[in-house]
Amino acid sequence: MPKFEVPRFTFWRGVLLVILALGTYSTVVRVFQGLAGSTNLSDSFPWGIWIGFDILCGVALAAGGFTISATVYIFNLEKFRPIVRPAILTAFLGYVLVIVALLYDLGRPWNVWHPLVMWNPHSVMFEVGWCVTLYTTVLALEFSPIVLERFKMTKTLHVMHFIMPLLVVLGVLLSTLHQSSLGSFYLIVPTKLHALWYSPLIPLYFFLTALTLGCAMTIVESFLSHRAFGKQLEMELLVPLGRVALLILALTSVIRFADFRHRGILGLPFQATYESRLWLAEMLIGVLAPGVLLAIPKVRKHTTGLFLAALLIVMGVVMNRLNVSITGMERSSGQIYVPAFTEIAVTLSVVGVGFLIFALAVKFLPVFPEHEMKEARPIVVPAGGNVSGQPIRSLPVPALVVVALAFFGAVALGADGVRRREVDPGPPAPSATKPELAAALASFTPPAEIVFPQAPDSPGPASFRHASHVDASAPDCLSCHGNTYSFLGRKEAPPAGQMHDTKHCGGCHDGTSAFAIEADCSPCHKAE
């Protein structure tokens, strides 16, 4: 067992401490002041960064778990086995932290278990809640061999290895369901989510982008582990993942183009609006730039080039989820949402906790192959450094241009979009609208007399004359044409007893507001 050593204080450890301290403070504010005191959320904009980043992005970022597990256990590509464990660890931590983040966003977090026992199968929330719960359980079981191996629980370990293929199939099924179901959330808001992101295909988009992100996140995680722990970098495994990510990016782009063409919105991304600028920035940084980089074989096989392409994909998917949950919803909400300091601090602390637990797991559990960790050496970053050992300046010039254009282009588009940020003011307040009635009243003509079919017990057909019931100088049609007097449109008259009650003619003909029904039948009933 590794000996515990007091960690050496570094710049990034100091940053982590500050983030965790701010997160602790924000948690106290959230607990004692509630959502109103700790967020900028409102009834018109109830989902902010905790849903957009912590949950939507968190679930997507954990997609590497089912992607790599399926690659090894279902497609039997054994060469990818060395990166299964870190991918599962990343996914397991991601889902656990998603649940933690959800507790912050729930008004009554102690009721988080309700969907498990109070079933509502017609709700998308119900399906997602169950899938996340079950998949987190499956991930815990998939992760368990690492712990069992660490504590030499051989018999139990054999059992887990025996059922592992079944767990992986179950995990792929559950993850596929809820990755797409997160997109299905937004199918219920077709008039609220901007057309650039709303589509009947949004569940498919969420699933395909999760697959792309699974490949990219595995590459990024391998590079960061290489940088942090000095372990060997498996380029022979990561380069094929880059090719798969490129293939899915291309497929998604073709489907998106056909979808936009079918809905007649091909010109919408080029309008000078807040949403269009943010959509273009998302496509530039998350689709176009990494697609070009991965399409160049020399860049794809370059350690820094592959890392930059994967990092751009990760940033693009994160931007997509934030655009769907925040950018695309702002205009219809009538509110500009800016997350509060406490919301940002909680989000950063959740991410920081994820990094901290991952580092501790690598240190104390056999996440990586033992021989790789024995050969691991601290990475010495050269002057003008790079992440992986191949200097960024050794990338082909076109690749450097693409990276620069993606970064500065996305920043410029984002800044221009924010400058154009506006919300839909909605219909004017009732007090501000004063309809012009004078012209309408001048030409007002009461409708013709209505004669109701004679009921069997009626002394004669009853008639209704608008001229004797409506004040022509100030007609108030709604006083009768509401639910109470819906019988006016009936083809058959109700029984006399019903017509005379207070819900019908008797409501006014009570001897006070108008003559009583019992006093005289002739004003309404014509003798035959």
State the average pLDDT for the chain. Answer: 83
**Is it the case that residue 384 has pLDDT exceeding 60?**
no
Instruction: Enter the pTM of the model.
Output: 0.74
How many CB atoms sit inside 10 A of residue 393's CB?
10
| Angle, CA 333 vertex, CA 330 and CA 339 arms, to 5° | 50
Question: 482-524, pLDDT tens digit by residue?
Answer: 555 555 555 555 666 677 777 677 777 777 777 777 777 777 7
pLDDT of residue 510: 76
**Is it the case that residue 444 has pLDDT exceeding 80?**
no
Strand partners, 451: 463
Question: 350-375, pLDDT tens digit by residue?
Answer: 999 998 998 888 888 888 776 666 65
pLDDT of residue 378: 53
Question: 406-423, pLDDT tens digit by residue?
Answer: 989 999 999 998 888 876
- Where does the pLDDT of residue 339 fall: very low under 50, low under 70, confident under 90, or very high at 90 and above? very high
Distance, CA of 420 to CA of 414 (rounded, Å): 10
Roughly what angle, to the nearest 10 degrees, separates helices 84-105 and 341-364?
150
Average pLDDT over residues 179-196: 87
**Is it the case that residue 395 has pLDDT exceeding 80?**
no
**Token pair listed for 400:** 């450097």
**Token pair listed for 347:** 């989000």
Distance, CA of 101 to CA of 329 (rounded, Å): 21
Cα distances from 114 to residues 118, 119, 472, in angstroms, run 6, 8, 58
pLDDT of residue 191: 86
Phi, psi of 388 (to 5 degrees): -115, -15
Q: What secondary structure, in 3-state letters, does 254-321 show?
A: HHHHHHHHHHCCCCHHHCCCHHHHHHHHHHHHHHHHHHHHHHCHHHHCCHHHHHHHHHHHHHHHHHHH
Structural contact between residues 305 and 311, judged by C-beta atoms closer than 8 angstroms: no
**Is it the case that residue 449 has pLDDT exceeding 60?**
yes
The share of the chain scoring above pLDDT 90, in percent, equals 28
Q: Sign of torsion, CA 116 120 126 130?
A: positive
Q: Tell me which residue of 321, 327, 286 sits closest to 51, measured CA to CA.
A: 321
